[in-house]
A and B are shown apart, each in its own frame.
Chain A
Amino acid sequence: MNDPSTILESQDVAAPTSGTIIDIDDLSFSYDLGKTNTLRNISLDIPAGKVTAFIGPSGCGKSTLIRCLNRMNDLVDTAKVTSGKISIMGQDIHAPDVDAIELRKHVGMVFQKYNPFPKSIYENVAYGLRVQGIKKKSILDQAVEESLQKSALWSEVKDRLNTSALGLSGGQQQRLCIARTIAVKPQIVLMDEPCSALDPIATARIEELIAELQQDFTIVIVTHNMQQATRVSDRTAFFYLGELVEYDDTQAIFGNPSKKQTEDYVSGRFG
């Protein structure tokens, strides 16, 4: 499992259904070439086939960490991993022969603010497959339908696949973004506060969706909303000022936290 070509280039990697899928080991990360570390010495194992939530007050580094997992931080010129490593399915993702583009085909991401392309609904979902060079209409059609069904959007949009995605409601647009992400069949789906721009009803639908998607994908979700973490996640990690304070089963974190800081945060005393 150490050769990256066998892991990250083939689309049909059998994702482990149990055990650890992401292994973060003593990770420190800096946005300014190492002058100050935004993340400090984080070690964390994320189990496969489960939902893991990252919680913590603003600026604690939870979003930074999730963006490390698919190397989105590469876009920042001065970003740098200063120590430690991240292994996904056993492969160090910062190894020199790992291509971030290939990595992202396996580790999809849903963003805080829904951001469909100004294209049709169909083209949005097919985009990830098209950039991989898939042109065959039958394959695309099938993938689009499947993804939209999985993201519980099919019945709402099946009659207007060729209309602009920007005509959908906010919640629909976010579900479309989820459909777009799962269309390329990643093993892991990262969600960076996926509901923060949505109203409660749309939020509830996304949460239902996360529960269903859990069967097929490993999900890592960053959330500001502690109730949401309790509702959707199996495991929860609490971060504070760039450090991992506590990581445990969700019930344990919210019911019986072992650290004082965690207890203060989950009980709403700060944050």
Chain B
Amino acid sequence: MAKHFQKKGRRILGWDLQDWIKGFFGTNATLSIVILLLICFYLIREAVMFFPSHHQGLTLYRQTGQEFVGHLIEEVDEHAKIVAMTDQAYYRELDEKFGNERGVSDSYEALLEPLEDAGEDFIDALDDEEEGAQEAWDTFATKTLSKVYKKEIDTFNRLDDDSWNALLASMKGWDPLEGDPPAFVEEARAKMKEGMASFELARAEVSAADDQLDSLRGKLVKIASVVREDAKAELTSAARKIALEQGIASTTDPDKKAELEEKLSEVKIMDSFPFAARSTPMAESKDAHKAAAADLKAKLTAGVAKLPAEFASQPAAELIERVRKKTPDVLEELDESVAEAARWRWDKPVGYFDSALQFFFGRDWVTNSSWHDFYGLLPLFTGSVLISCIALAIAVPFSVGAAIYVNRIATRLEQNIIKPVIEMVQAIPSVVLGIFGILVLGEGLREFSQVEALSWIPGFPMQERLNILNAGLLLALMAVPTIFTLCEDALNNVPRSFSEASLALGASRIQTVIKVILPTAISGIFAAILLGLGRVIGETMVVLLVAGNKIAMPDWGAGVGVVAQPTHTMTGIIAQEMGEVADGTLHWRALFLVGLVLFTISLCINVAAQRIIRRLSHL
């Protein structure tokens, strides 16, 4: 019986205070591990379920013949991009050459509104040939014309003051019953038309090149849509039938059984949906498709060749240059697309691997569509990567530079100011940064990009306020504290004796930093950058608010100017769409899969960074 050396203190349920504290912390640790595992399990389960449903969806897409029509839609879209670029060039050129005339023509149209709307009664009186109607109209017209502001009518400020006054003067004798524009306006229009005649002709030809293909597309879209609706209805009834049968089998209540059986007898399903017969119109259109594509090819080539070679406006020249470069690519893609469409058969099975590839490399993310939902990760992935690259490209030099300065060059006082300030940036809530991005940075950037002298910078002037560059800049700001702090740690870990030795050999401070400190700390700096990347790629709020949320592959033809385009990101799409989808749908699972991809990327980045840091500490 040991009387001595026993634990003192009260015991509760056989445990003393020490045991309870130990138990409390142990439980907490275990609980967080369990929760983490549950999250992983749930995420993976939901995400993986995406693949079979997605495969089903794609199979239906093929069976209904929509896949065939999809090729046509894409071909028409590609053509439309060329048309859009040509149109843009056309109007740029028009503005440059005949800005004043265009102003006259547009302002004339704008002037009609106050005259015709407010002067309706006077025009009616004129129409009825009432007495004194002409005088009344003249008084009204003079009064109205003296009250209009140039700013409101000529909104793009195309007119000089002389032309504006001349236009107002010419409107004096305008006859509201005839409605013909005054001679001054007619003249301006004629001049415009004459000056742009050859461009206009070529533009019309480019634009009309897809007429044949477009009408075939329109016709087939209608047919395929109906097939899709019918097939879907059929699938729903089949599912309903199975559910009812299961219900009958499991119920023991005879009344309920009878009720269900009655319902079952109402459900009519076919043995199998006649995809073969229903998709015949598509199968039979293969030759027409080939012919229409050949027509488009010939007309587009001819039209592009007719586009002018000399331009008054530099942007117009650049745009047409891009049209010329892009056209052969589009035509090549057209050939491939036609060949692929020709290989379409309703009963060719969709490979499981192919359907998975369609998710990871699909270029479209279209949901809630009455035609077909596409789940392609590529535009979102590209958006995330582009924004992250820009953010890092800006943040890395700044934060590494700041870390070197603070760690090796700055005085004590400077250190005490710079370090807390940079670390304070981390305290800004990202939604506040987002608001700043929309209201201040976005607006400021766009206005800055309008400056004439800067128009040589790619992407300037910016069309969009919310774009990749804007988001990248804000994320750079968010990444700076992370990279800075870790970088400074890495530099701190370089033994003092290295810099002493270097200085004692007659090296300057800068030489010491470049030749000794940086190479020694390089793996730590690299890890810091990686962790910064992890922070940036997972950031949601800022990109959701600032990136523009346009789901499309960036137009690489713009070169570096691609940064002025809006985009969407993997994090943004989840935040935006998750609240609106029904549980268990394909869309819902697609979002989970995007989440899983993000999780995997973040995990890899973090593991890589950890490994580098661990290797460093063994140095």
By a beta-carbon cutoff of 8 Å, the part of chain A in contact with chain B is 70, 72, 75, 77, 101-102, 104-105, 108-109, 111, 113, 115-119, 127-128, 130-132, 177, 180-181, 184
- Shortest CB distance B254–A (Å): 87
Known contacts A111-B497, A115-B495, A115-B498; decide if A131 and B507 are in contact (CB<8 Å): yes
Residue among B411, B501, B507, B515 with max Cβ neighbours from chain A (10 Å): B501
B565 located at the interface, meaning its Cβ lies under 8 Å from any Cβ of chain A in the complex: no
B619 touches A180 (CB 8 A): no
Please tell me which one of the listed residues A111, A119, A177, A184 contacts residue B506 in the complex, with CB atoms under 8 A apart: A184
B501 touches A118 (CB 8 A): no
- Bound complex: CA A135 to CA B501 (Å): 21
B506 touches A105 (CB 8 A): yes
- Bound complex: CA A109 to CA B504 (Å): 6
B251 located at the interface, meaning its Cβ lies under 8 Å from any Cβ of chain A in the complex: no
Measured between beta carbons, the chain B residues less than 8 angstroms from A119 are: 519
Measured between beta carbons, the chain A residues less than 8 angstroms from B495 are: 115
By a beta-carbon cutoff of 8 Å, the part of chain B in contact with chain A is 411-412, 495, 497-498, 500-508, 511, 515-516, 519-520, 619
Measured between beta carbons, the chain B residues less than 8 angstroms from A116 are: 501
- Shortest CB distance A198–B (Å): 15
B497 touches A102 (CB 8 A): no
Sample 19 A-B pairs with CB under 8 A, ordered by A number. Answer: A75-B500, A75-B503, A101-B508, A102-B506, A105-B505, A105-B506, A108-B505, A111-B504, A116-B501, A117-B501, A117-B502, A117-B520, A127-B507, A127-B515, A128-B505, A128-B506, A131-B506, A181-B505, A184-B505
- Shortest CB distance B422–A (Å): 22
A115 touches B500 (CB 8 A): yes
A115 touches B501 (CB 8 A): yes
- Bound complex: CA A224 to CA B510 (Å): 34
B497 touches A113 (CB 8 A): yes
Measured between beta carbons, the chain B residues less than 8 angstroms from A132 are: 506
Closest A residue to B506 by CB, please name it. A105
Measured between beta carbons, the chain B residues less than 8 angstroms from A70 are: 504
- Bound complex: CA A131 to CA B502 (Å): 9
- Shortest CB distance B564–A (Å): 44
Please tell me which one of the listed residues A77, A102, A104, A118 contacts residue B505 in the complex, with CB atoms under 8 A apart: A104
- Bound complex: CA A105 to CA B507 (Å): 8
Residue among A102, A118, A131 with max Cβ neighbours from chain B (10 Å): A131
Closest A residue to B499 by CB, please name it. A75
B507 touches A118 (CB 8 A): no
Residue among A101, A116, A184 with max Cβ neighbours from chain B (10 Å): A101
- Shortest CB distance A229–B (Å): 23
B506 touches A101 (CB 8 A): yes
Closest A residue to B511 by CB, please name it. A131
- Bound complex: CA A111 to CA B498 (Å): 11
Measured between beta carbons, the chain B residues less than 8 angstroms from A130 are: 515
Measured between beta carbons, the chain A residues less than 8 angstroms from B412 are: 77
- Shortest CB distance A96–B (Å): 18
Measured between beta carbons, the chain A residues less than 8 angstroms from B506 are: 101-102, 104-105, 128, 131-132, 184
Please tell me which one of the listed residues A105, A109, A117, A184 contacts residue B498 in the complex, with CB atoms under 8 A apart: A117
Q: Which 6 A-B pairs have the closest CB atoms?
A: A105-B506, A115-B497, A128-B505, A109-B504, A131-B507, A104-B506
B501 touches A131 (CB 8 A): no
B515 touches A181 (CB 8 A): no
Measured between beta carbons, the chain A residues less than 8 angstroms from B411 are: 77
Measured between beta carbons, the chain A residues less than 8 angstroms from B500 are: 72, 75, 111, 115
B503 touches A127 (CB 8 A): no
A127 touches B505 (CB 8 A): yes
Known contacts A77-B411, A77-B412, A117-B498; decide if A72 and B504 are in contact (CB<8 Å): yes
Q: A127-B507, A130-B515, A131-B502 are in contact. List 10 more A-B contacts (CB 8 A).
A: A72-B503, A104-B504, A108-B504, A111-B504, A115-B501, A131-B508, A131-B515, A181-B505, A184-B505, A184-B506
- Shortest CB distance A95–B (Å): 18
- Shortest CB distance A269–B (Å): 34
A180 touches B505 (CB 8 A): yes
Closest B residue to A115 by CB, please name it. B497
Residue among A104, A117, A132 with max Cβ neighbours from chain B (10 Å): A117
Measured between beta carbons, the chain B residues less than 8 angstroms from A127 are: 502, 505, 507, 515
Closest A residue to B619 by CB, please name it. A118
Closest A residue to B494 by CB, please name it. A118
- Shortest CB distance B405–A (Å): 16
Measured between beta carbons, the chain A residues less than 8 angstroms from B619 are: 118
- Shortest CB distance B169–A (Å): 77
- Shortest CB distance A150–B (Å): 16
- Bound complex: CA A118 to CA B502 (Å): 12
Measured between beta carbons, the chain B residues less than 8 angstroms from A184 are: 505-506
Measured between beta carbons, the chain A residues less than 8 angstroms from B498 are: 115, 117-118
Closest A residue to B504 by CB, please name it. A109
Measured between beta carbons, the chain B residues less than 8 angstroms from A118 are: 498, 519-520, 619
Measured between beta carbons, the chain B residues less than 8 angstroms from A72 are: 500, 503-504
- Bound complex: CA A116 to CA B411 (Å): 27
Measured between beta carbons, the chain A residues less than 8 angstroms from B515 are: 127, 130-131
- Shortest CB distance A167–B (Å): 13
- Shortest CB distance B492–A (Å): 16
- Bound complex: CA A269 to CA B504 (Å): 36
Closest B residue to A180 by CB, please name it. B505
Measured between beta carbons, the chain A residues less than 8 angstroms from B508 are: 101, 131
Measured between beta carbons, the chain A residues less than 8 angstroms from B504 are: 70, 72, 104, 108-109, 111, 181
Measured between beta carbons, the chain A residues less than 8 angstroms from B502 are: 117, 127, 131
- Bound complex: CA A70 to CA B501 (Å): 12
- Shortest CB distance A27–B (Å): 20
- Bound complex: CA A109 to CA B506 (Å): 10
- Shortest CB distance B371–A (Å): 62
- Bound complex: CA A128 to CA B502 (Å): 8
- Shortest CB distance B561–A (Å): 41
Measured between beta carbons, the chain A residues less than 8 angstroms from B503 are: 72, 75, 101, 104
- Bound complex: CA A181 to CA B501 (Å): 9
Measured between beta carbons, the chain B residues less than 8 angstroms from A77 are: 411-412
Measured between beta carbons, the chain A residues less than 8 angstroms from B507 are: 101, 127-128, 131
Measured between beta carbons, the chain B residues less than 8 angstroms from A108 are: 504-505
Residue among A72, A102, A128, A181 with max Cβ neighbours from chain B (10 Å): A128
- Shortest CB distance B519–A (Å): 8
Measured between beta carbons, the chain B residues less than 8 angstroms from A101 are: 503, 506-508
- Shortest CB distance B505–A (Å): 4
